[in-house]
A and B are shown apart, each in its own frame.
Chain A
Amino acid sequence: MKKTLTTLLALFAVFALVACGNSSSQNSEKKSSSAISKMPEIQGFTYYGDIPQNPKKVVNFAYSYTGYLLELGIVPATYSLDLEKDSPAFGQDLENATQLTSSDTEAIVAQEPDLIIVFSTDENIDQLKEIAPTLVIEYASSDYLQMLTNLGQVFNKEEQATAWLNQWDEKVAEAKKDLSNVLTNDTSFTVMDFYEKNIYLYGDNWGRGGELIYQSLGYAAPQKVQEDVINKDGWFGLSQEVIGDYIGDYAVVNVNSGTKEAASSLKESDVWKNIPAVQAGHVLEVDYNLFYFSDPMSLDMQLEAFVKAVKEANN
């Protein structure tokens, strides 16, 4: 008994030593020649180590911001959600990227990153910041457009950010004019998706088209959605019984191949069929894979898809 215990302890000690050895050797080799970012003070941004201005190898776990990085010309070496890789907006950009989670410490080290980007809610920040300089971003600490400016400041690409924002404003104004014969500012939209046992609604900062419809284009949300979704958590699980109260002039339903038939029983029910928007044919099915994020690259394509869907519904 005593012998086994000693052996175990010895083994444990060896492991601990090896582990320490590893991390210290990583620390010493992170010196690189490239310029260091100004690291501006931004609400919701925390920096650990010297953030490079032109990172060569970015390990990115803040999946909401992948499209922002791509827009600024920074191609992450890793991704975390299949939604990033499959996004029609990102195209082939992430073709050579590896999928990692923030607990894959060894695989992250093997990437030899010069920058790691994570959400502030990540549990592994302490380990990650030992591996490479780490940028921690609090989700939704700034709105979806300001985030582009913020990241532009960090990576010294403010001009690119401003250029995109300016053309975005023009594009949005054009689209609104284009749709003005069918939609007014008071036209209300409900952003949602369906699963077999659940119905979810989304607010104006939770992806799925919310930013585009409520913030960029400035269309209205039904009173109930404003109260229960936008003014509260940003997303909301709903009972089928009251779904009619939450649907405005249009319903924007996010679907992909995995959810196309979900909630068929709801769609066969009178409760659904008697909703005015449903009777008017104002249910817009949009591609979940495209509408999931709200970054510049996704927004560009979402706007086109949205305009097309609204026009089709009104033909």
Chain B
Amino acid sequence: MYREAKLPSQKNKPNHIWLVFFTILFLFLIGWYLGLRFGAISYSHQDLIEVLRHPLRNSKLQDVIFDLRFPRTIAAILVGAGMAQAGAIMQGVTRNPIADPGLLGINAGAGLALILAQAFIGSMHYSLIILVCLLGSTVAALLIFTLSYRPRKGYNQLRLILAGAMIATLFSAIGQAVTLYFNLSTQVIGWQAGGLSQINWRMLSIVTPFILLGLLLAQLFAHQLTILSLDETISKALGQRTLAMTISLLAIVLLLSAASVAIVGTVSFIGLIIPHFIALFVGKDYRKLLPLAAFAGATFMLWVDLFSRIINPPTETPINAIISIIGLPCFLWLIRRGKNL
């Protein structure tokens, strides 16, 4: 029918988008509902409705549902969306299917900054921790970009990937050395394992603007990203200023993932699994891929957080353990199935 008109990546892809969207929406709503009801304590449907009707009336129920679970589910949504979208952008910008925000040194930079601050300042209030992590990620990202950019020769993706892998490894090595030397492992292990516990409204108020801004900007740049992801020559021929575009997009990745990492600690794989999963259905058109990946990422994180609370209550399981256990088999399956990976 439309044989000639389609991009190669869209070949043989029936129009599943709405089906995908509604499936995710369904899982999202269920995940959020269950996330509010279940955890170390289980509440009935009536309890939940009662609290939602009067969110500010103080009670034991409200203390848990509104003060603890609401912020953490919202954090899960923002972080999932941010990390998935950041991953999709990284893969587009570097034209490399296994790129993720980690290659921009986000996890490593934030981790090192936190460890150094713990070593030299000592114990910190959470608002300071968030600030330190944001700063660390930014420094790492800037360093990696500077290393991958050469005057007159410009920047190239391969160098970005290499510089990223190198700096990330270097930073985590320094981090480990400092951890050992100052005996900080008990203090930082929770952050490294990642988790949404102890997130409150104030933490959210610090990072939410960054993530929302990032999500919004990403939509505006989505079409340009599709063009950039094709090929350097093609995108230049289409009139794109590739360097400026790359820098803007990397800045968005930084915004999204640094803010996410600052509140939950190290998160891996989401930026890798979710975009590839969504790309199975919508192809590499970033105008559709980015919003759907964000939505799917948010849903995935909601479920991961729910599992982290209900696997072994009242103990919480670190989210990275769950992401790896659920995520890796899915990812391997995707690799075997997907042809354009």
For the complex, give the distance between the alpha carbons of A274 and B313 in Å.
22
Other-chain residue from B62, B197, B314 in contact with A198 (beta carbon distance below 8 A): B197
Task: For A261, list chain B residues within 8 Å (CB).
Answer: 123-125
User: Do A258 and B315 have beta carbons less than 8 Å apart?
Assistant: no
* Residue A259 interfacial (CB < 8 Å): yes
Other-chain residue from A259, A268, A270 in contact with B63 (beta carbon distance below 8 A): A270
Minimum CB–CB distance from A180 to chain B (whole Å) comes to 34
User: Do B60 and A274 have beta carbons less than 8 Å apart?
Assistant: yes
Given A237-B316, A239-B40, also A198-B190 (CB < 8 A): yes
Task: For A264, list chain B residues within 8 Å (CB).
Answer: 125-126
Task: For A271, list chain B residues within 8 Å (CB).
Answer: 63-64, 67-68
User: Do A196 and B129 have beta carbons less than 8 Å apart?
Assistant: yes
For the complex, give the distance between the alpha carbons of A258 and B123 in Å.
5
* Residue A263 interfacial (CB < 8 Å): yes
Size of the B side of the interface (Cβ < 8 Å), in residues, is: 41
Minimum CB–CB distance from B255 to chain A (whole Å) comes to 23
User: Do B309 and A239 have beta carbons less than 8 Å apart?
Assistant: yes
* Per-position binary interface string of chain B over residues 310-325, scored 1 when its CB falls under 8 Å from any chain A CB and 0 otherwise: 0001111010000000
For the complex, give the distance between the alpha carbons of A198 and B123 in Å.
15
Minimum CB–CB distance from B61 to chain A (whole Å) comes to 11
User: Do B203 and A265 have beta carbons less than 8 Å apart?
Assistant: yes
Which residues of chain B from 184 to 232 have a CB within 8 Å of any chain A CB?
Answer: 184, 186-187, 189-191, 193-195, 197-200, 202-203
* Residue A260 interfacial (CB < 8 Å): yes
When C-beta atoms are compared, the residue in chain B nearest to A272 turns out to be B63
* Residue B92 interfacial (CB < 8 Å): no
Given A265-B199, A270-B58, also A238-B123 (CB < 8 A): no
Minimum CB–CB distance from B266 to chain A (whole Å) comes to 11
Minimum CB–CB distance from A224 to chain B (whole Å) comes to 9
* Residue B183 interfacial (CB < 8 Å): yes
Given A196-B126, A197-B190, A260-B123, also A240-B41 (CB < 8 A): no
* Residue A241 interfacial (CB < 8 Å): yes
Show the binding face of A for B, using Cβ within 8 Å: 81-82, 195-198, 228, 236-242, 257-266, 268-271, 274
Show the binding face of B for A, using Cβ within 8 Å: 39-41, 58, 60, 62-64, 67-69, 118, 122-126, 129, 183-184, 186-187, 189-191, 193-195, 197-200, 202-203, 265, 309, 313-316, 318
Given contacts A241-B39, A258-B122, 7 further A-B pairs with CB under 8 A are A82-B183, A195-B187, A228-B314, A239-B309, A240-B198, A241-B40, A261-B124
A sample of 25 inter-chain contacts (CB < 8 A) reads A196-B129, A196-B190, A196-B198, A197-B195, A197-B198, A198-B190, A198-B316, A237-B315, A237-B316, A238-B314, A239-B39, A239-B315, A240-B68, A241-B41, A241-B64, A242-B314, A258-B122, A260-B122, A261-B123, A262-B123, A265-B126, A265-B198, A266-B198, A271-B67, A274-B60
